[in-house]
Amino acid sequence: MQLREIAHARAGDKGNISNISVIVYDPKDFPAIEKYVTAERVKAHLSEIVKGDVERFVLSSLGALNFVMRDALAGGVTRSLAIDAHGKTLSFAILSLDIPQST
């Protein structure tokens, strides 16, 4: 299944850094995203866009993961020639990540 089936995302950007939080709808699904939505998988999933490091922060009390992605916005909002390759677009892209069906 795709991550969007059990979670939603919020995004922000500053300069050339994108910050995305993935938040489960139901707390019972948090162990699945904690296990399968790793910094390595997010970096691989967004490899054509995110050129720098990806750090993951676990916010278990909120049922959320926060990802800080460096060199992810083609130089930043004011420098990029992209129409909208910024935070919101990346948050939608991260939600297409495939994860195993919860049991």
What digits encode the pLDDT tens for the residues 2-26?
Answer: 999 999 999 877 777 888 999 999 9
With CA atoms as reference, report the closest residue to 43 among 14, 18, 13, 23.
18
Q: Is the model more confident about 82 or about 10? A: 10
Mean pLDDT in the chain? 84
Q: Is the model more confident about 31 or about 85? A: 31
- Residue 102: the pLDDT is 61
Domains and CATH numbers, the chain: 3-94 (3.30.70)
- Cα distance from N-terminal residue to C-terminal residue, the chain: 12
Question: Which tokens sit at 32?
Answer: 């699945």
